[in-house]
Amino acid sequence: MTSQRYRPLFKLDAGGMAEVYVAEAESMAGFKKKVAIKRILPGLIKDQRFVRMFLDEARLSLRLAHANIVSVFDIGESDSTYFIVMDFVHGINMKTLLEHQVKRGGPMPVALTVFILNEVLKGLSYAHRLTDSETGRPLGIIHRDISPPNILISWNGEIKLTDFGLAKATTQLESTDPGVVKGKYSYLSPEAARAEEIDARADLYAAGILGFEMLTGRRLFRGKNDYETIALVRAGEVPSIRQYNPNVPEDLEQVLFRALHKDISQRYQTADDFAEALLGFLFTHRLKVSARDLIDFCRPVREEQEAERRQAETKAQQERSPGGNNLIINLINEEMLHFRSLGQEEKKEASAGAQPVVAIGEPKALDPSQPLDVDVFTPAPGGVTPNRLGLSPTPTEPLPDKNEPSLVDQLGLSKDDRPKTSPDNKLPKRPPPGNRTIPPDPRTARPPEPTNKGEGGSAWIIVLLLLLVGGGVVAFLVLT
């Protein structure tokens, strides 16, 4: 993956911890597509805990592959921040749709609300049941932040969950401290507001809150401040939906009441159970609804959004530098030039075909067709040097004792008196290994006994000739 694969186009959204840019991704084959890139604000890079949470979200999102979940296909870093690269959903989020519906002066249609909830539950069901591909164990994923901003609606009528930044899974590196409340307060479950241990049923409670707000056009839990909001969530008092919207059938109200039950054991136990109840309602009332209905319903919003986009493009052109470039986009683009996928260096080393390192003392596998790879110049312990053919080891020749004087030194010869080696004075060739004999050590070998004791008499004359070349002196020593 090259550093120039992603080219930022414009900023899509921003928050207190990260911002999202729309970029153009170009493959090696030259194909281009738009992607969304979430970028950690540089000021938060020093917060290692937040960085770990961000990378947890990225790693977890890479495991998710479902039509109702935004796909994440790359995690990257630059010299100053981290990135998550995901599919760009061309559309709006649920928050924008609800705000637009308030302007219209009424709640959302019943059938369309049920359709959207069912699509959300499809994505949740997949995430809740996801297992590890290697061990087969459940990952235990809980989104923990099912709220209008995290429900994306494409212009093609698709519903997708995004932002698993607060999701909890058994494989996450960053765990939640006891007593810490995560998620938007208005969409917490009562047990989450009490900082108790939660499970997948907390996501189902949040989906029930979404259904209540879509059908009534008002917030379920909203206090004057965060403290009051959490107090309302803990109380768990849910007013009648029909008093705000008489068009809601009673059996649909009962379906949502069960999802919003304060007692966790009385709620739907799985996302599939909740979805089955919603589909049963549609079947009972013979209601037909599909993505085409959602497309038609969102068309006025799309026209309004496109008008706003044209205004934003005009404003961006006015903010361009004299050279014709947007300064902010240029800075982000410069960052993206140094973009590198996490783990890219390790992959390069693995693909380079590096030879494995054999630990010292670790035996190598022997190839019978090849000679042993033994260093014959390194004496083995015990004075034995193995040979390359794998034959029996041959004792090494003893090395002279450095402290013992040589024969020349014993005779008192100077350096000039020592015999010169002629060019023809070559060492004899070493016999083949099979016929090789070991010469006796002159220091330890015993002299041979005479074969005939009669020859030479009982007296041996040993003459030692000392020739002193420099002085011309000859000395004879006769021993009887």
Residue 234 lies in a domain: yes
Average pLDDT estimate for 379-399: 43
* Long-range CB contact pairs, 454-459, < 8 A, 24+: none
Q: State the DSSP H helix or E strand holding residue 314, giving kind and residue range, or none if neither.
A: helix 291-318
Confidence of residue 285 (pLDDT cuts 50, 70, 90): very high
- Token representation of residue 17: 């911890």
Average pLDDT estimate for 210-218: 95
pLDDT of residue 150: 92
Instruction: Residue 313: give the domain boundaries.
Output: 6-341
Please tell me whether the overall predicted TM-score, pTM, comes out greater than 0.75 for this model: no
Look at residues 315, 199, 190 and name the one whose alpha carbon lies nearest to residue 261: 190
Residue 134 lies in a domain: yes
- Among the residue ranges 33-37, 170-174, 296-300, the one predicted with the least confidence is 170-174
The dihedral region occupied by 446, where left means phi > 0, alpha psi between -120 and 50, and beta the remainder, is beta
Confidence of residue 463 (pLDDT cuts 50, 70, 90): very low
Residue 102 lies in a domain: yes
Question: What angle separates helix 94-104 from helix 201-216, to the nearest 10 degrees?
Answer: 20
Q: What's the CATH number where 242 sits? A: 1.10.510.10
CA distance 396 to 111: 95
Average pLDDT estimate for 6-18: 79
pLDDT per position as a tens digit, 121-137: 999 999 999 998 888 89
Residue 368 lies in a domain: no
- Does residue 362 carry a pLDDT above 60? no
- Among the residue ranges 44-48, 232-236, 457-461, the one predicted with the least confidence is 457-461
Average pLDDT estimate for 24-33: 77
Average pLDDT estimate for 56-78: 85
Task: Give the phi and the psi of residue 204 in degrees, each rounded to 5.
Answer: -65, -35
Confidence of residue 477 (pLDDT cuts 50, 70, 90): very low
Confidence of residue 102 (pLDDT cuts 50, 70, 90): confident
Average pLDDT estimate for 143-158: 93
How many domains is the chain partitioned into structurally? Answer: 1
What is each CA distance from 60 to 68, 136, 292, 333, in whole angstroms?
A: 16, 16, 32, 27
pLDDT, averaged across the chain: 74
pLDDT of residue 256: 97
Confidence of residue 19 (pLDDT cuts 50, 70, 90): confident
**Among residues of the chain, what percentage have pLDDT more than 70?**
60
DSSP E strand boundaries for 78-218? 82-87, 91-93, 151-154, 159-161
CA distance 58 to 72: 7
Environment class of 316 (CB within 10 Å of its CB; exposed 0-12, middle 13-18, buried 19+): middle
Environment class of 445 (CB within 10 Å of its CB; exposed 0-12, middle 13-18, buried 19+): exposed
- Does residue 116 carry a pLDDT above 80? yes
pLDDT of residue 119: 97
Q: Other CB atoms closer than 10 Å to residue 121's CB: what's the count?
A: 28
pLDDT of residue 353: 46
- Does residue 428 carry a pLDDT above 70? no
pLDDT per position as a tens digit, 304-344: 888 887 776 677 666 655 554 566 666 766 666 666 676 55
Residue 404 lies in a domain: no
Cα first-last separation, the chain? 96
Average pLDDT estimate for 246-269: 96
Residue 389 lies in a domain: no
Residue 128 lies in a domain: yes
Q: List residues with catalytic annotation.
A: 145
Residue 454 lies in a domain: no
Which residues contact residue 228 at a Cβ distance below 8 angstroms, ignoring those fewer than 6 apart?
Answer: none
